[in-house]
């Protein structure tokens, strides 16, 4: 594998340092159990417990076995430095603001609600308190994805003109009803990952347009066949999210095309990337080349958590700024048809 771009892995906290005390606030998010498992396994952290104020959220997942249940007062008042907000999206911003008001560093899972002003205020208050809100876009840390973005940023693809992202997911009837509560439907839940990658590469678009269709057989009003277009001076980003493909999870794709060639990552979960260049650039050869990255031996979601360990312990600068996160959320809401 010839790529120079790689994801830093490993333990940033020396063994002699005490672990960071962390709690999980809400367990209704699809990523909640993965975060619980990661925080239990990583020696950098001591998982004090979890809190779920919503009694309708199930508490029987195997990942919660032996985990202490906390009240909201205990989550916010104990000597806890870091809170992972993993609630249902409707509660995300409320719980995150309570954590920031209590002086905690925060990992906030996606999408951060649908109230842009509330999100802006959250980030401003965190900045004022010299705290960090880390967004739960885990594809930021996926090695093949990261390498493709960095290669494009380095100019190895020439002048980038097209970003294309596809993320499909077959949806159960129950999940469809829950997701239909949000304008934008599947674009809101899944397109946020791709919009975050597009804005990381291309920045703020000058124009946003979208098509939010309901083409599924169920009469649930879910926008389940969706397309967003982000326009830039010299590039277009195309974001597609749909539910029709029964094998959708296997064909999630990001492609970046420039005047010197193309790079693609498919599916998202793989550690493989393809480049096809006219001229060699950086560490990329001319011609078609598949790049294989060594599998990560750390638990899922570990890169996000390890970055926060560096931020909390060492004062490291987060990979993504509050300004980027606010811009990405604004673009997401525009694509989903919210009036901004």
Residue range 154-182, pLDDT digits in tens? 999 999 999 999 999 999 999 899 899 99
Q: Are residues 45 and 121 in the same domain?
A: yes
Q: Are residues 112 and 153 in the same domain?
A: no
- The CATH number that applies at residue 277 is 3.30.360.10
Q: Are residues 33 and 128 in the same domain?
A: yes
Domain membership flag for residue 311:
yes
Please give the model's pTM, rounded to 2 decimal places: 0.92
Q: Are residues 155 and 286 in the same domain?
A: yes
Q: Which two tokens stand for residue 43?
A: 């020696």
The whole-number pLDDT of residue 77 equals 85
Mean pLDDT of 143-150: 94
Give 71-80 pLDDT, tens digit per residue: 999 999 889 9
- The CATH number that applies at residue 104 is 3.40.50.720
The whole-number pLDDT of residue 14 equals 45
Mean pLDDT of 12-31: 83
Q: Are residues 71 and 132 in the same domain?
A: yes
Lowest mean pLDDT among 12-16, 263-267, 271-275, 316-320: 12-16
The whole-number pLDDT of residue 9 equals 43
Give 277-325 pLDDT, tens digit per residue: 999 999 999 999 999 998 777 888 999 999 999 999 999 999 999 999 9
The whole-number pLDDT of residue 8 equals 41
The whole-number pLDDT of residue 297 equals 79
- Give the C-alpha separation, 281 to 294, whole Å: 22
- Give the C-alpha separation, 223 to 239, whole Å: 14
Where in the sequence is the domain holding 108, given as residue range(s)? 20-139+301-321
Average pLDDT, the chain: 93
Q: Are residues 188 and 288 in the same domain?
A: yes
Report which of 51, 56, 72, 123 is spatially closest to residue 93, judged by C-alpha positions.
Answer: 123
Q: Are residues 119 and 188 in the same domain?
A: no
Whether 7 has a pLDDT exceeding 60, the answer reads: no
Q: Are residues 124 and 145 in the same domain?
A: no
Q: Which two tokens stand for residue 70?
A: 């906390």
Whether 143 has a pLDDT exceeding 60, the answer reads: yes
Whether 13 has a pLDDT exceeding 60, the answer reads: no
Q: Are residues 45 and 85 in the same domain?
A: yes
The whole-number pLDDT of residue 5 equals 39
Q: Which residues contact 297 (CB under 8 A, 6 or more apart)?
A: none
Q: Which two tokens stand for residue 227?
A: 């397309």
Q: Are residues 285 and 153 in the same domain?
A: yes
Instruction: Place 16 in a pLDDT band, splitting at 50, 70 and 90.
Output: low
Q: Are residues 196 and 277 in the same domain?
A: yes
Domain membership flag for residue 101:
yes
Q: Are residues 131 and 145 in the same domain?
A: no
Whether 217 has a pLDDT exceeding 50, the answer reads: yes
Domain count, the chain: 2
């Amino acid at each position: 594998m010839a790529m120079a771009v790689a994801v830093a892995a490993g333990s940033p906290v020396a063994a002699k340092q005490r672990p960071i005390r962390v709690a999980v606030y809400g367990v209704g998010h699809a990523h909640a159990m993965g975060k619980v498992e990661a925080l239990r396994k990583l020696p950098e952290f001591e998982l004090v417990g979890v809190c779920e104020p919503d009694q309708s959220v199930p508490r029987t997942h195997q990942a919660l076995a032996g985990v202490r249940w906390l009240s909201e007062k205990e989550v916010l008042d104990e000597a806890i430095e870091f809170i992972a907000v993993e609630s249902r999206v409707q509660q995300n911003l409320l719980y995150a603001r309570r954590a920031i008001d209590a002086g905690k560093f925060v990992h906030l899972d996606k999408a951060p609600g649908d109230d842009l002003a509330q999100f802006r205020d959250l980030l401003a208050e965190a900045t004022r308190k010299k705290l960090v809100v880390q967004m739960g876009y885990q594809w930021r840390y996926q090695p093949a994805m990261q390498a493709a973005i960095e290669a494009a940023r380095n100019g190895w693809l020439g002048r980038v003109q097209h970003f294309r992202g596809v993320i499909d997911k077959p949806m159960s009837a129950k999940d469809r009803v829950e997701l239909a509560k949000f304008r934008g439907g599947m674009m809101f839940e899944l397109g946020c990952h791709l919009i975050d990658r597009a804005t990381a590469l291309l920045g703020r678009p000058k124009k946003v347009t979208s098509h939010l269709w309901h083409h599924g057989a169920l009469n649930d009003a879910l926008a389940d066949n969706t397309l967003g277009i982000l326009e830039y001076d010299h590039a277009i980003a195309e974001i597609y999210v749909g539910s029709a493909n029964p094998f959708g999870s296997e064909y999630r794709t990001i492609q970046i095309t420039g005047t010197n060639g193309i790079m693609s990552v498919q599916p998202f979960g793989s550690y493989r990337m393809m480049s096809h260049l006219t001229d060699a650039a950086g560490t990329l050869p001319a011609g078609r080349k598949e790049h294989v990255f060594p599998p990560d031996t750390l638990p899922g979601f570990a890169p996000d958590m390890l970055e926060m360990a560096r931020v909390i312990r060492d004062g490291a600068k987060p990979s993504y700024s509050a300004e980027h996160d606010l811009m990405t959320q604004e673009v997401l809401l525009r694509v989903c048809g919210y009036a901004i």
